[in-house]
Amino acid sequence: MDDLVWIFANASVINNFTLAYFLGLCPFFGVTNRIDTAFRLGVANLFTLLITSLSATLLDRYVLVHAPYLQLISYIVVIAGTVQFVEMAIKKLSPALFRALGIDLPLITTNGAILGLALFQSSKGYGLVQGLVYALGAGVGLTLAMVIMAGLREEIEFAPISKLLRGVALNFFVAGMLSLAFMGFAGLFAKG
């Protein structure tokens, strides 16, 4: 049984979903050209993660004990439904954000971080509260990584860099450095 602080730190920084598990790289590279879009998509992801965690716990407890072979299919269907719900909520609450996010919103469904969360929390045997803390950590971690990445990219835009490096390759270099920096969080809770 892991305690909640460890779960949160583990999901958010020590094993950041994007920088250590490589989950959700498409939106990570796709929307991180501006800080505010990155932050908002991060928050949308956070909500999706929380709802998914809750649904996955309920599924595990009431459906999958009887039909374990439905795990993957039921998770992905629930995620698709959740994303649809978040999409409708955003459309209602903030039409401007809805337009700004565009295609990235429905694509949350194929964001590996969401399905990864459901699978990891189930394989780690987390209960309801642990699962929610894990989802919160993962969401905060995703948002943090995306916002830092967007900040770096906004700065790099005006830096004198070879034309060959510009574009995807440069993004990978920056992400690599960020991933290296996040490794510094390792060992945060094993001390003492």
Task: Give the footprint of another protein on this chain (CB under 8 A).
Answer: 2, 6, 10, 14-15, 19-26, 29, 68-73, 76-77, 80, 109-112, 115-116, 119-120, 123-125, 164-165, 167-173, 175-177, 179-180, 183, 186-187, 189-192
- C-beta of 88 vs 180, nearer to another protein: 180
- Cβ contact 161:35 at 8 Å: no
Given the complex with another protein, which of 14 and 41 has the nearer CB atom? 14
Question: CA angle, corner 115, sides to 114 and 121, nearest 5?
Answer: 90
Continuous H helices in the chain: 4-9, 25-30, 35-62, 71-93, 95-101, 112-123, 128-156, 168-182
Which residue, 116 or 151, has its beta carbon nearer to another protein? 116
Instruction: Decide whether 9 or 97 has the Cβ nearer to another protein.
Output: 9
- Distance in Å, CB of 103 to another protein, minimum: 12
Q: What is the CA radius of gyration of the chain?
A: 17
> With respect to another protein, which residue has the nearer C-beta, 65 or 96?
65
CB burial of 51-89 (b: ≥16 within 10 Å; e: otherwise) equals bbbbbbbebbeeebeeeeeebeebbeebbeebbeebbee
The minimum distance between CB 111 and another protein, in angstroms, equals 7
Q: How far is the CB of 184 from another protein (least distance, A)?
A: 11
Q: What angle do CA 79, 81, 82 make, to 5 degrees?
A: 65
Q: How far is the CB of 44 from another protein (least distance, A)?
A: 17
- Report how far apart, in Å, the C-alpha atoms of 150 and of each of 30, 34, 39, 145, 171 are: 10, 5, 9, 9, 10
Closest distance to another protein from the beta carbon of 94 (Å): 25
